[in-house]
Amino acid sequence: MKLDYKSIELIDRQFQSFRINRQTDPYLGSNWHFHAEYELLYVLKGRGIRIVGDNISEFAPPQLALIGSKLPHLWKNDPDEDSNEADVLIVQFNRLFAGQDIFSIPEFRSISELLNLSQRGILFNKKTIKKVHNLLLNLANVGEARSLIDLQYILFELSESREKHLISSPEFIVPLTLVSGNRLNKIIDYISKNYTQNIDLKDLSREAAMTPTSLCRFFKNRTNKTILQFISEFRVGKACQMLIDGNYSISDICFNSGFNSLTSFYRVFREIKHITPQEYKKNYKVLN
């Protein structure tokens, strides 16, 4: 998993101002990346782990997120589950249309404020998703002029929503260089592959080609988290996936997500989610 800067090429449809892509794949999330363009990501199917800036959590459909310019992000599902095929609609755009920032005009002030907020990433509730669902799905099926108008209307509806949840913390630092980003990504990749095992700081240091002390300082400066916090949140995110799935016992979830005892599992889960695993599972069923 490599942190890449990606300048968007309009290859799926030759829109001059934005790009639309519908992905239906058994495996979602090849690398952690960022780009100058803003991104609307609409998950219609698939479950897994979401990393946006310094936030790690689980995702399940329907989920609609607006990702700001240069904010690192990754939606990653579990390719080992046959029933976990992903279906995702991605719309990528920038503020410039025909060389002009149309969102700077007074009439689009609410959209401009929305885009500013998206530098931390934004999640929208199901009521808001229902309002824009059909418009999002039809973006690729209407004419180019209509699709541009519809995109602006979608952004307006999202800006009017009172149920916005900011994803990343305000303290998150966007990687300044690709070199530091790639080093950070090696650490994240190692954790994502070995979270069920006891992760040794020496092994992580070896992956990053740093001393343990330098590694801890580097990781904290780049992510606003200690390595232990990151590992704990990643494991809790995996536990939430299994709770949502509903086919696992609490004991199985505990050990399959990398915890070595039920006591530590309950303690860490409550510290991060502020509720027990059972309450989390119950709340999810009520909301769905």
- What pLDDT score does 150 carry? 93
Which candidate, 226, 65, 61, 21, places its Cα nearest to that of 158? 65
pTM value is 0.75
Q: What is the DSSP string of 7-52?
A: PPP--SS--SSEEEEEEEES---S--EE-SSEEEEEEEE--EEEEE
The pLDDT value given to residue 244: 79
Q: Which CATH architecture has domain 4-166?
A: Sandwich (2.60)
Residue 285 or 159, more confident: 159
Q: What does the alpha-carbon distance between residue 196 and residue 259 come to, in Å, rounded to a whole number?
A: 7
Instruction: Report pLDDT digits (tens) over 73-107.
Output: 888 886 555 556 889 999 999 887 767 788 888 88
Q: In this model, does residue 249 exceed pLDDT 60?
A: yes
CA distance 144 to 162: 30
| Distance separating alpha carbons of residues 225 and 205, to the nearest angstrom | 16
Position 283 scores a pLDDT of: 78
Among 138-142, 193-197, 280-284, the range with the most confident prediction by mean pLDDT is: 193-197
Q: Are residues 48 and 75 in contact, defined by beta-carbon separation less than 8 angstroms?
A: yes
Both tokens assigned to 169:
């913390």
Q: What integer pLDDT is reported at residue 1 of this predicted model?
A: 41
With contact defined as beta carbons under 8 Å apart, do 222 and 185 qualify? no
Backbone angles phi, psi at 59, to 5 degrees: -130, 150
What share of the chain in percent tops pLDDT 70? 84
More confident residue, 1 or 214: 214
pLDDT, residue 16, reads: 57
Q: What share of the chain is helix, strand, coil (3-state, %, to 5)?
A: 50, 20, 30
CATH topology of domain 178-287: Arc Repressor Mutant, subunit A (1.10.10)
Query: pLDDT for 47-79, tens place per residue?
Result: 888 889 888 888 889 999 999 998 888 888 865
Question: Which residues, listed in sequence order, are joined to residue 104 by a DSSP beta bridge?
Answer: none
Q: Enumerate the CATH 1.10.10.60 domain ranges in the chain, comma separated.
A: 178-287
For range 265-282, the mean pLDDT: 92
pLDDT, averaged across the chain: 83
At residue 105, the pLDDT reads 86
Q: What is the pLDDT of residue 161?
A: 93
| pLDDT at residue 175, as a whole number | 57
* Domain limits, CATH 2.60.120.280, in the chain: 4-166
| Angular region, 209: left φ>0, alpha ψ -120 to 50, beta rest | left
- The tens digit of pLDDT for each residue in 110-144 reads 999 999 999 999 999 999 999 999 999 998 788 77
